[in-house]
């Protein structure tokens, strides 16, 4: 770590946010200047296909404290955050979205709490009005599941909008897993943390960059990287079904001895065979999910590929006036 590290760094993942970055920077600048002149912003361009990077390049020419790492393709927000943390140098780092759903003014409060000694300060969304009702329902179901299965408790309403102390950043950078579920990772590393409630604003421009498919994959990553219960569950299901089969088996023997053979039973036979085939396929599918993730991990590919860097050449440490 350079000893000319800035006080405050920002990590902002951007994916086709050309419509938002101007407004974002305009609102960020006074907030950051109010905290310290030693700040830097690291945009992580997650393979945008619009003018996002061009706009950031223009910011950088005017003020080298605004920089960017640009991926060779879309790797996803979680990976973009990881890349951002690899590139910041600040004593504290704030992660936020580019669409102004995370009010920049909150950063001042985050920094205040950090100066009081908290290693992590997270924004706690007070409601999810900004999300569609369908997404809200599914999110709620996911958190119930995570609570039931997960081995790491998540703080209520905490998301990616947060401040991390240098120690927390270094800790997170040691977690090299590919299937990244940041919310879980933040909780896993520990450190004294505190939540600050905030209202999630509506997106300024464009639409959410998360398709339902992306959200489902994200949910599966979250559960599988923080719980092995789905794998072990089948042992219990299997034991239960076997016990049931054993008891009915005995009952059939007794019944045959007492009342003789009665042939009908076709329906129950088919139903039980189909039921068991279903249970077996589901459990195989669950094992497949885990094996797929193990496979992705053992390949040991780099987490991301940087296509281009903007403003990392000379690394000016301190503010340009």
Q: How far is the CB of 55 from Mg ion (least distance, A)?
A: 18
Q: How far is the CB of 123 from ligand UDP (least distance, A)?
A: 13
Residue 248's alpha-carbon distances to 155, 175, 273, in angstroms, are: 46, 50, 14
Q: Where are the beta strands (DSSP E) in the chain?
A: 8-14, 39-45, 66-71, 92-95, 120-125, 158-165, 193-198, 306-310
State whether the Cα torsion 257-259-261-262 is positive or negative: negative
Copy the structure tokens of residue 281.
């396929």
Output 118 or 161, the one with its CB closest to ligand UDP: 161
Write out the binding residues for ligand UDP, residues 61-90 only, by CB under 6 A. Answer: 74, 76-77, 80
Write out the binding residues for ligand UDP, residues 151-180 only, by CB under 6 A. Answer: none
Q: How far is the CB of 13 from ligand UDP (least distance, A)?
A: 3
Region of 31-39, 97-105, 121-129, 295-303 interacting with ligand UDP (CB under 6 A): 97-105
Output 15 or 226, the one with its CB closest to ligand UDP: 15
How many positions of this chain bind ligand UDP (CB under 6 A)?
A: 17
Q: How far is the CB of 215 from ligand UDP (least distance, A)?
A: 8
Copy the structure tokens of residue 227.
């719980």
Region of 95-103, 139-147, 282-290, 303-311 interacting with ligand UDP (CB under 6 A): 95-103
Region of 33-41, 87-95, 190-198, 207-215 interacting with ligand UDP (CB under 6 A): 207-215
Region of 148-156, 208-216, 238-246, 273-281 interacting with ligand UDP (CB under 6 A): 208-216
Copy the structure tokens of residue 178.
């590919």
Determine the Cα angle at 248 with ends 244 and 252, to 5°.
Answer: 170
Q: Could you give the CA distance from residue 212 to residue 1 in angstroms, rounded to a whole number?
A: 39
Q: Could you give the CA distance from residue 268 to residue 33 in angstroms, rounded to a whole number?
A: 73
Q: Could you give the CA distance from residue 165 to residue 170 in angstroms, rounded to a whole number?
A: 9
Region of 87-95, 181-189, 204-212, 220-228 interacting with ligand UDP (CB under 6 A): 204-212
Name residue, tokens 């977690």: 175
**Contact flag: residue 53 with ligand UDP (CB under 6 A):** no
151 three-state secondary structure: coil
Write out the binding residues for ligand UDP, residues 8-37 only, by CB under 6 A. Answer: 13-15, 17
Binding site for Mg ion (CB under 5 A): 97, 99, 101
Find which of Mg ion, ligand UDP, none residue 125 binds, CB within 5 to 8 Å per kind.
none
Find which of Mg ion, ligand UDP, none residue 40 binds, CB within 5 to 8 Å per kind.
none
Strand duo 193-198 + 120-125: pairing: parallel
220 three-state secondary structure: helix
Q: How far is the CB of 209 from ligand UDP (least distance, A)?
A: 3
Determine the Cα angle at 164 with ends 129 and 105, to 5°.
Answer: 50
| Residue 119, phi then psi, degrees to nearest 5 | -80, -20
Q: How far is the CB of 100 from Mg ion (least distance, A)?
A: 9
In the complex, the residues that contact ligand UDP under the rule CB under 6 A are: 13-15, 17, 46, 74, 76-77, 80, 97-99, 101, 203, 208-210
């Amino acid at each position: 770590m350079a000893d000319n590290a800035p006080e405050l760094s920002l990590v902002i993942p951007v994916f086709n946010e050309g419509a938002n970055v101007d407004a974002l920077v305009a609102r960020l600048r006074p907030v950051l200047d109010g905290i310290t002149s030693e700040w830097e912003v690291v945009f992580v361009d997650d393979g945008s296909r619009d003018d996002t990077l061009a706009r950031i390049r223009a910011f950088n020419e005017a003020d080298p404290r605004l920089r960017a790492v640009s991926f060779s393709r879309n790797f996803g927000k979680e990976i973009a955050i990881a890349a951002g943390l690899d590139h910041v140098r600040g004593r504290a780092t704030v992660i936020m979205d580019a669409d102004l759903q995370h009010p920049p003014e909150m950063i001042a409060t985050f920094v205040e709490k950090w100066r009081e000694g908290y290693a992590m300060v997270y924004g706690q969304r007070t409601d999810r009005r900004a999300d569609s009702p369908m997404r809200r329902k599914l999110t709620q179901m996911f958190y119930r599941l995570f609570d039931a299965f997960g081995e790491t408790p998540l703080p209520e309403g905490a998301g990616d909008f947060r401040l991390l102390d240098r120690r927390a950043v270094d800790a997170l950078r040691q977690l090299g897993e590919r299937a990244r579920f940041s919310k879980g990772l933040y909780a896993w590393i520990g450190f004294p943390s505190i939540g600050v409630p905030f209202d999630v604003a509506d997106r300024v421009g464009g639409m959410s960059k998360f398709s339902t498919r992306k959200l489902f994959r994200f949910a599966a990553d979250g559960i599988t990287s923080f719980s092995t219960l789905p794998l072990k569950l089948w042992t219990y299901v299997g034991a239960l079904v076997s016990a049931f089969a054993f008891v009915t088996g005995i009952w059939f023997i007794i019944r045959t001895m007492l009342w003789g053979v009665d042939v009908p039973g076709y329906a129950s036979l088919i139903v039980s065979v189909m039921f068991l085939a279903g249970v077996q396929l589901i459990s195989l599918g669950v094992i497949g999910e885990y094996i797929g993730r193990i496979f992705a991990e053992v390949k040991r590919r780099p987490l991301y590929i940087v296509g281009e860097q903007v403003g990392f050449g000379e690394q000016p440490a301190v503010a340009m006036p």
